[in-house]
Amino acid sequence: MSETVKTKAPKEPLFSKKNRKLVIDPLEDNNPVTVQVLGICSALAITVQVEQALVMTGSVLFVLALGNVVISLMRNLIPSRIRIIVQLVVVASLVIIVNEVLKAFLPDMAEKLSVFVGLIITNCIIMGRFEAFAMAQKPWPSFLDGIGNTLGYGIVLVLVSIVRELFGSGTLMGFPILGDKVEGTGLFATDWYANNNLMILPPMALITVGIIIWVQRSRNKALIEDH
């Protein structure tokens, strides 16, 4: 790998072009959800409300950024035959911290996210970044990579949840936007409008992600695979 050779090179600035690329790349061209199709499970589960998506992104940000640093620091100590177990232990302990913090300070949100916080352990993005990046990189680039990937994941999550919450419940962040037929509340209340129940069901999250992928690929032809 070219990076390992460069370890002896003179110290590079903290936000060099290469390091900036680590953060920006996953936002669009190498998005973990829409391009690598990782972390789809949580994109389906917790995108019913924007608030949930934001908390989830925050949790993943903590786990992935810190986990990447920890793994990167230990990368020369981990025997390669048991590396998956070591990685799992690191994720699991970080996730437990997140879970406890959420339970202590945001009990309502913890209730809503329920099992999905625990399931961050199985989020493919995290193990993927540990394996593909942190195991071979220094702590600082690993940290940036973790942030970049989480932001890429978070953007998709928030986009999907905006669509789902707006049309499924007529609210955004719990604030009523589109009127409800029964209650007649909201910014744009009409008496004929009805919320779309399908938006709350998981299939619509998949379709929304699909549409995002569609839009992204028609804008960026380089992402389209050859057949």
Partner 1 sequence: MKFLERIVENMEPKFAKGAKLEKLHPVFESFTTLAFTPKEVTHKGSHIRDGVDLKRTMMTVIIAMIPCLLFGMVGAGHWHYVANPTTDVDVTSFWASMGPKIWYGLGVLLPLIIVSYGVGLTVEFIFAIIKGHSLHEGFLVSGLLIPLIMPADVPLWMVAIAVAFAVLIGKEVFGGTGMNVVNVALTARAFLFFAYPTSMSGNSVWFGGQPDGFSGPTALGELATFTSDDQASWAFQNISEFTSKYTMEASWMGYIPGSIGETSAVACLIGAAILLFTGVASWRVMVSFFAGGLAMSALFNVWGANEFMLLEPLHMIALGGFFFGGVFMITDPVTASQTNTGKFIYGFLGGFLSIMIRVFNPAYPEGVMMAILFMNVMAPLIDHYVVQANVKRRLKRLKTA
- Indicate the residue among 174 and 210 with the shorter CB distance to partner 1: 210
Candidates 5-13, 17-25, 102-110, 197-205: pick the segment binding partner 1 (CB under 8 A): 197-205
Q: With binding defined as CB under 8 A, does residue 210 bind partner 1?
A: yes
- Applying CB under 8 A, among 78, 106, 172, 207 the residue interacting with partner 1 is 207
> Measuring CA to CA, how many Å separate 7 from each of 1, 11, 73?
11, 9, 14
- Indicate the residue among 86 and 200 with the shorter CB distance to partner 1: 200
Q: With binding defined as CB under 8 A, does residue 158 bind partner 1?
A: no
Is 125 within 8 Å of 38 (Cβ atoms)? yes
- Indicate the residue among 187 and 198 with the shorter CB distance to partner 1: 198
Q: With binding defined as CB under 8 A, does residue 201 bind partner 1?
A: yes
Is 123 within 8 Å of 62 (Cβ atoms)? no
Sign of CA dihedral 2, 86, 110, 161: positive
Least distance CB 134 / partner 1 (angstroms)? 37
CA distance 190 to 176: 13
CA distance 62 to 21: 20
Least distance CB 169 / partner 1 (angstroms)? 13
> Measuring CA to CA, how many Å separate 85 from each of 78, 94, 133?
10, 14, 17
Candidates 20-28, 109-117, 154-162, 191-199: pick the segment binding partner 1 (CB under 8 A): 191-199
Sign of CA dihedral 107, 38, 65, 15: negative
Q: With binding defined as CB under 8 A, does residue 175 bind partner 1?
A: no
Least distance CB 214 / partner 1 (angstroms)? 7
Residues that bind partner 1 (rule: CB under 8 A) add up to a total of 10
SS3 68: helix
Least distance CB 224 / partner 1 (angstroms)? 15
Q: Which residues pair with 175 in a beta bridge?
A: 172
- Indicate the residue among 34 and 150 with the shorter CB distance to partner 1: 34
CA distance 207 to 190: 27
Q: With binding defined as CB under 8 A, does residue 194 bind partner 1?
A: yes
Q: With binding defined as CB under 8 A, does residue 189 bind partner 1?
A: no
Q: Contact positions toward partner 1, by CB under 8 A?
A: 192, 194, 196-199, 201, 207, 210, 214
